[in-house]
Amino acid sequence: MSRGYNFLCILVTFSVLVAAVTAQGNRVSSRGGGRRPRVGFYGDRCRNVESIVRSVVQSHVRSNPANAPGLLRMHFHDCFVRGCDGSILLAGNASERTAGPNRSLRGFEVIDEAKTRLEAACPRTVSCADILTLATRDAVVLSGGQSWKVPLGRLDGRISQASDVNLPGPSDPVSKQKQDFAAKTLNTLDLVTLVGGHTIGTAGCGLVRGRFFNFNGTGQPDPSIDPSFVPLIQARCPQNGGTRVELDEGSVDRFDTSFLRKVRSSRVVLQSDLVLWKDTETRVIIERLLGLRRPSLKFGTEFGKSMVKMSLIEVKTGSDGEIRRVCSAIN
């Protein structure tokens, strides 16, 4: 009798402990412990997350098409510094936003509005990092690009320092670009495909003027540029004027392979873009993306794949991150 009673007590105690551990695990999971990004992550907790973000992005891109490349660039700058954790969104005197390469970023108001609407619909559920990732996909689609499924479930980072910003530069040789992308688990196909995102957006004249007027101190334009392209850019970015110039001249708001065709014909404004045609490995990839070499690659499909890979760089989980109430400030 006593032995059976003791066994029953042990069984009950064990059941209580299992229930307690399960409950604790559920609480940790709801805070982010053990969570990994996946498609459909929010489920019933925020069923309309994608439609809410899409609606906000659509409104802002229609009112100002420059917001589309702005969001794409912001996402890239976020992921390449401390991972895709929304740290680029944090405001502060020495935050990532204040670093030189980030001062011309646009689209912060798009993320803020989407966050406000999501907090009303699903309080403390959707991270700012996820909002930026979704908004980028939607911006590409609204510019004519192909859609892709976005894994969700990132947490927001708590650290944002201008001193951490060390992004690939507009004059980098191919070897440096490959090295920088490999450090973020991205291969050469990802490099070329993601650079193809320059099919939308603009560059500051200060970044390109030297190539078109005084390349490497020669007093002449870069000889590798198509000579007929030189006067066009010189007129738009004169030595004492001009602000910004299209990355994909004549197709700045359309997400397509036009930019890659211009790389092939040496009619691009950034040196880091032009040199992709000079390297054998990257040239072959461009040819495959343009359907000039077999097996061919579909640019829209490859871009989506590479964006998913990039969006999973160093994601925050558990105690490494949080879900911010406001995207510009930690809780």
- Indicate the annotated binding residues for Ca(2+): 78, 81, 83, 85, 87, 96, 199, 248, 256
List residues forming the annotated binding site: 78, 81, 83, 85, 87, 96, 168, 198-199, 248, 256
CB count, 10 Å around CB of 10? 10
Give the span between the Cα atoms of 286 and 163, in whole angstroms. 34
List residues forming the annotated binding site for substrate: 168
Task: Check if the beta carbon of residue 143 is closer than 8 Å to that of residue 66.
Answer: no
* Burial of 147 from C-beta contacts in 10 A (0-12 / 13-18 / 19+): exposed
Q: Residues, the chain, total?
A: 331
Question: What Rg value do the Cα atoms of the chain yield, rounded?
Answer: 24
Q: Encoding tokens for residue 155?
A: 């947490």
Which of 159, 160, 118 lies closest to 135 in space, CA to CA? Answer: 118
Give the span between the Cα atoms of 327 and 128, in whole angstroms. 6
DSSP three-state, residue 230: helix
Identity (one letter) of the amino acid at 237?
Answer: C
- Is residue 77 annotated as a catalytic residue, yes or no? yes
| Per annotation, catalytic residue among 77, 154, 262, 324 | 77
Identity (one letter) of the amino acid at 119?
Answer: E
Give the span between the Cα atoms of 312 and 310, in whole angstroms. 5
List residues forming the annotated binding site for heme b: 198
- Alpha-helical regions (H) of 37-153: 49-63, 67-79, 108-121, 128-142
Active-site positions? 77
